[in-house]
Amino acid sequence: MLMTLLLFLGVLLTLTSFGLLAIVSLDRKRQARIVRISRALGNPAVASVSGKQGATRGAQTRRTVRIGVFGTVLDRALQKAGIALRSSDFLGLIIAGCIGLAAAAHFVLLMPVLPSVVTGLVVSGLTGWLVLRISTASRASAFAAQMPAALDTFGRALRAGRPVSEALDVVVHNTEAPLKPEMEKCRDMLALGHSLNETLRRLADRVDVPEVRFFSVATHLQSETGGNLVETIEHLAEQLRERLKLKKKIRALSAESRASAMILGALPFAIAAVLYAINADYLLPLVHDARGRAMAALGLVSLIAGMLVLFRMGKLDV
C-alpha cells in the first residue's frame, strides 16, 4: 500500500511539473503575441506595459538561471535547435523526467534509491541531449535545403532593381520555416537602419549553419572588395546546390553503416522480447539480481557506444 501511494505521488509530481512548465511557456508566448499585436495596431500603452513585464521576467530569468556560462550556452543551443524554450524551462523538464524515471525504477523495477536516482538523471539528461542534437541537425538540414532557392530568389529580386530590404521581403514571402522567421528578422533589422553586413553576421551567429555563414562571408567580402552583388549571390547559390548534391551522395553511399547500426542496436532488444515471451523467468536475474543489473547496464552502455561509433563512421563533413 505504501509503495503504491509513493508511486502515485511520484507520477503526480511529474505530471504537475510538466503542466506548470507548459502553462508558463504558453503565458510567455501569449505575452509576446500581445506585444506584437499592440505594436502593429499602434497601441503604445499596452505594448509598453507588456514590454516592461517581459523585460522584468527576462531580467529575473537572467539573475536566477544565467549564473555562470551554463545558462547562456544552453540558451544558445536551444536557439540553434529551434526549440522555443528557455534554459530554465528545459532544465525543469529534465528534472521532472528524472523524478518520474527514478520513481518508476524504484517502485516498478525494485531498484535501490541511489541507483534509481542516478538512472533517472542519466536517462533524462541523455534524452534532453539527444533532443537538442536531433533538433539541431534537422534544422541545419532544412536550412541547407532552403538556402539555394532563397538565394536565387534574392538574386532575381536584386537583378529586377529592388533594394535589399525589399528583396529580403520577397524571400520571406517565398520561403517556409525555419528560414522564413530568420529572414523576417533580417528584414526588420534592415528597416531599423542596420547594415547588411551586420544583419547577416547576426543571422550567422543565431543559426550557426555553414550555408548561412557562406552567405554572410561572401556578402561581407563583396562589400569590401567591390563587384556585382547579384553575380556573387547567384554563384554562391550554385555552389551551395552542388554542395547539397554531394552531401546527399555521401549519405547514400554511407547508408550501409547506418543500417548496420540500427539492426545491431535493435537485435538485443528483439532477442530479449522473444526470450521473455518463451520463458520470462530466464530474464528475471537481470532485474532482481544486482549482478544481473550491472551486466545489463554494462551491455547497454557498450551497445550505445558501438552504435555511436558506427553512425560516426558513416558521417562525413563536406
Q: What is the pLDDT of residues 223-238, one digit of tens each?
A: 777 667 788 888 888 8
Looking at residue 46, its pLDDT comes to 39
Distance of CA 288 to the CA centre of its chain: 37
In a domain, 112, yes or no: no
**CA–CA distance, 231 with 211 (Å, rounded to integer):** 17
Q: What is the mean pLDDT of residues 95-121?
A: 79
Cell for 317?
563533413
Q: Which residue has the higher pLDDT, 55 or 3?
A: 3
Question: What value does the mean pLDDT take over residues 56-73?
Answer: 51
Residue 110 inside a domain? The answer is no
Mean pLDDT value of segment 75-93? 80
Could you give phi then psi for residue 43, rounded to 5 degrees? Answer: -105, 90
Range of the domain at 229: 140-251
Contact 183, 175 (CB under 8 A): yes
For 154-163, write each residue's pLDDT tens digit. Answer: 888 888 888 8
229 with 158, same domain?
yes
Q: Which residues contact 276 (CB under 8 A, 6 or more apart)?
A: 283
Same domain membership, residue 233 and residue 172: yes
CA geometry: angle at 71 spanning 68 and 77, to 5°?
A: 135
Residue 65 pLDDT: 41
- Among the three residues 228, 251, 274, which one is the final residue of a domain in this structure? 251
pLDDT at 52: 41
Asked if the structure places residue 135 within a domain, the reply is no
Q: Given the C-alpha cell 555521401, which residue does it identify?
A: 250
Are 265 and 175 part of one and the same domain? no
Asked if pLDDT for residue 27 goes beyond 80, the answer is no
pLDDT tens digits, 177-206 = 788 888 888 888 888 888 878 888 888 888
Position 111 scores a pLDDT of 73
**φ, ψ for residue 192 (rounded to 5)?**
-85, 0
Q: Give kind and range of the element (H or E) at residue 211.
A: helix 210-225
Instruction: Give the pLDDT of residue 318.
Output: 61
* Amino acid, single-letter form, for residue 145: A
Cα 237 to chain center, whole Å?
A: 26
Q: Check whether residue 228 and residue 259 sit in a common domain.
A: no
pTM: 0.63
* Burial of residue 113 (number of CB atoms within 10 Å: 0-12, 13-18, 19+): exposed
Measured CA to CA, the distance from residue 153 to residue 175 in angstroms comes to 9
